[in-house]
Structure 1
Amino acid sequence: MDHLLGIPNAVSLVVYVVLLAVKIFAFVSSLLYSAEHYRVAEKWSKGGWVAVTGIAALLQGAWFVPMFVNLALTIATFVYLADVRPALAGLRRR
């Protein structure tokens, strides 16, 4: 039975690493587009998305951050990846 006690810790570690990687990817992606792209796509400003995704990556798993703040930043990161990034990428193809 003792060998099963490590499974929740391993799952937590995998989730932590995956979320950290996703947040770093979103942060780097938000840096790659110009402020003009954000304006033309009618999305929130580049500075706003860079700040949100950067703070999300920095605070991922920090012990002093309340869980609801981390959850909100994770949701914001996924909003960027699901809505903003595709709109910005669509502008490059034109």
Structure 2
Amino acid sequence: MLMTAFGGFMWLLFTAILVLAVVALVMAAVAREDAYRAASKQNKMFWLIILGVTVAVNLFVPMLFLQIAGLIATIVFFVDVRPAIREVTGGGRGGRGRRGSSSDGPYGPYNGGR
């Protein structure tokens, strides 16, 4: 019974890693090529290859160390590359392209009734 539960947990974990890699691959494919160059984050083809290999490894080569390497590449994309690309393209915060102040509310800046 314990081995069945462990097997189910590992299947769930590997499925989550695969979904994360597929989402990263789609996000990398949707981003503009010039945004990668402007953010100084390799180039679009590099990330498409890395993330595509990650998805292929997760689907067809169930070797744990390769899946962990792919997970690291996926995490690097989400933590480093994607925020830099969003910064360059003006994404986030409703697409306004600027950083909001700490006093911004949901409908614009709050100035305390002044």
Does the alignment reach a TM-score above 0.5? Answer: yes
Which of these residues, 89, 92, 101, is aligned with residue 92 of structure 1?
Answer: 89
Corresponding residue of 2:76: 79
Whose radius of gyration is greater, 1 or 2?
2
Name stretches of at least 5 consecutive residues in structure 2 with no aligned partner: 91-96, 98-114
TM-score normalised by structure 2 residue count: 0.73
Is the Cα–Cα contact under 8 Å of residues 38 and 45 in structure 1 kept in the other structure? yes
RMSD value, Cα: 1.5
Cα deviation 1:23-72 (Å, max 9, x = unaligned): 00000000011110000001111000011011101110534x64333221
Is the Cα–Cα contact under 8 Å of residues 57 and 66 in structure 2 kept in the other structure? no
Cα deviation 1:63-91 (Å, max 9, x = unaligned): 4x643332212101110011000111112
State whether structure 2 residue 37 is matched by structure 1 residue 39. Answer: yes
Which of these residues, 8, 11, 18, is aligned with residue 13 of structure 1?
Answer: 11
* One-letter amino acid matched to 1:11: F
Between Structure 1 and Structure 2, the one with more helix by share is 1
Task: Name which structure has the greater RCO, CA cutoff 8 Å, separation 6+.
Answer: 1
Percent identity, please.
24
- Secondary structure, aligned partner of 1:60: helix
